[in-house]
Amino acid sequence: MSVKNLIINEDNNNRRVDNYLISILKNVPKSKIYKIIRRGEVRINSSRVKASYKLKAGDKLRIPPNIYINEKNIKNINQDTLDLHTNDILFENSNYLITNKNANISVHGGTKNNIGLIDIFRKKFNKDLDLCHRLDKNTTGCLVLAKNKKSVLHFNKLLKDQNITKKYHAILKGQLKQNIEVNEPIYKDDKNKKKLAMTQFNIIETFNDLTLVEVIIFTGRTHQIRIHSKMINHPILFDSRYGDLDFNKTIELKTVKNIALHAKNITFKDMNNKRISADSPYPESFILLLNELNV
Residues with a known catalytic role: 136
Rounded CA gap, 14 and 52, in Å? 11
* Dihedrals phi, psi of 197, to nearest 5 degrees: -150, 140
Which positions ≥6 away from 208 have C-beta within 8 Å?
A: 293, 294
Cα dist from 170 to 13, 74, 120, 176, whole Å? 42, 34, 27, 12
Rounded CA gap, 170 and 182, in Å? 15
Alpha carbons within 13 angstroms on the beta-carbon side of residue 55 total 23
Which positions ≥6 away from 143 have C-beta within 8 Å?
A: 98, 99, 100, 101, 107, 117, 131, 133, 135, 263
Cα dist from 41 to 7, 34, 58, 115, 139, whole Å? 17, 10, 19, 36, 47
Q: Dihedral of the CA atoms 252, 253, 254, 255 (nearest 10)? A: -150
Which positions ≥6 away from 159 have C-beta within 8 Å?
A: 133, 220
- Per-residue DSSP letter, 222: T
Rounded CA gap, 102 and 18, in Å? 37
